[in-house]
């Protein structure tokens, strides 16, 4: 996703990565190439998954490009926190299960309406 004064662009580009290694170095090379294509002066922040390889790639990217900041995706972080709560604290298991049931209905209802 790209944000600019002219608006937001979702999926500026698509990179098929199933056939390449997902080591920190390869992720860094991929992100660096995208920043290079867009222009370093046009990139302020890169947000990714917060897996170890993406964290390392983000650090490499910030090391090379001093005006750029890498941050982990907040939604992914929150999802991981909730997964830990669900696994480790029984009281949260019930709350999360109820939340899933509540959200499942509107989404499934929308899917049913789209099929009609």
SS3 state at 45 = strand
Note whether 47 and 73 are within 8 A (CB). Answer: yes
Inform me whether the pLDDT recorded for 57 exceeds 70.
Answer: yes
For range 54-82, the mean pLDDT: 90
Q: In this predicted model, which residue has the larger pLDDT, 24 or 112?
A: 24
Q: How far is CA 34 from CA 11, 20, 81, 96, in A?
A: 12, 16, 30, 38
What confidence score (pLDDT) does residue 17 get?
83
pLDDT, tens digit, 9 for 90 and up, residues 20-48 = 888 999 999 999 999 999 899 988 889 88
Specify whether the CB–CB gap between 17 and 29 falls below 8 A: no
- Scanning the structure block, which residue is given the tokens 């709350």? 95
**Which of the two residues, 102 and 23, has the higher pLDDT score?**
23
């Amino acid at each position: 996703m790209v944000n600019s004064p002219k608006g937001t662009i979702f999926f500026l580009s698509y990179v098929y990565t199933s056939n390449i290694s997902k080591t920190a170095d390869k992720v860094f090379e991929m992100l660096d190439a995208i920043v290079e294509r867009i222009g370093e002066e046009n990139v302020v922040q890169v947000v990714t998954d917060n897996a170890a390889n993406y964290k390392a790639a983000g650090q490499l990217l910030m090391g090379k490009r001093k005006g750029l900041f890498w941050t982990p995706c907040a939604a992914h972080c929150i999802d991981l926190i909730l997964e830990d709560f669900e696994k480790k604290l029984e009281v949260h298991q019930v709350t999360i299960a109820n939340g899933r049931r509540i959200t499942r209905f509107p989404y499934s209802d929308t899917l049913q309406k789209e099929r009609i």
